[in-house]
Amino acid sequence: MKPMYMNEPWFATLQARAEQPGAVRAQLARQLGICAPALSQVLNGSGAYGDGRASTGRIADRVIHTFGRYACPHLTDEAGEERVITAEQCRAYAHRAAPASPREMKHWQACNQCKHKAASAPPVPRAAQPRKVIPINTAKEDSHEAQ
């Protein structure tokens, strides 16, 4: 039996991304800012996600804010009807340097006030953590040689 989250729209979006030709789960996980094993468990409905011990809420939020769609308040106001843009377009508008043209400046300023800006931020790369070096206890080996 499939876990309930597999019927939700965010999962369909995630699954479509994972099934695109040339898609690599590790790269998809990196885009979402999650680890590859967690992504595989969610997609396969296995592990703690499959049996309901782990919540998919954080992953669902990341999928929506990375690959989802938003009704852009600024573009909706300009056009008079709701204008939906992808999360990638939202990220491109909101997280760019201040533009020079007055029209683009209004849009950029609106983005800085928008509730979607923080959610559409690109994932922050984590610094590589050095591995701990565990010294080999040579004192024990030396004591065996002495006997």
DSSP bridge partners of 71: 84
Share of the chain above pLDDT 70, in %: 88
β-strand 69-71 against 84-86: which pairing, if any? antiparallel
Q: Are 27 and 20 in contact (CB under 8 A)?
A: no
**pLDDT band, very low/low/confident/very high, at 141 (cuts 50, 70, 90):** low
Mean pLDDT along residues 69-90: 80
What mean pLDDT do residues 24-36 have?
A: 90
Q: What is the pLDDT of residue 42?
A: 95
Other beta carbons within 10 angstroms of residue 14's beta carbon come to 26
What is the pLDDT, as a whole number, of residue 82? 82
Query: Poorest-confidence range of 39-43, 68-72, 101-105, 134-138?
Result: 134-138
Alpha-carbon dihedral of residues 12, 43, 31, 55, nearest 10 degrees? 90
Tell me which amino acid residue 20 is. Q
Residue 116 CA, distance from chain mean position: 15
| 1-11 average pLDDT score | 90
- Residue written as tokens 């029209």? 103
Query: 30 versus 133: which is more confidently predicted?
Result: 30
Q: What is the pLDDT of residue 15?
A: 94
Percent of the chain with pLDDT over 90: 30
Q: How far apart are CA 52 and CA 112, in angstroms?
A: 37
Which residue has 């990196």 as its token pair?
30
- Domain ranges in the chain are 4-66, 68-113
- For the cut 80, the answer to whether the pLDDT of residue 146 exceeds it is no
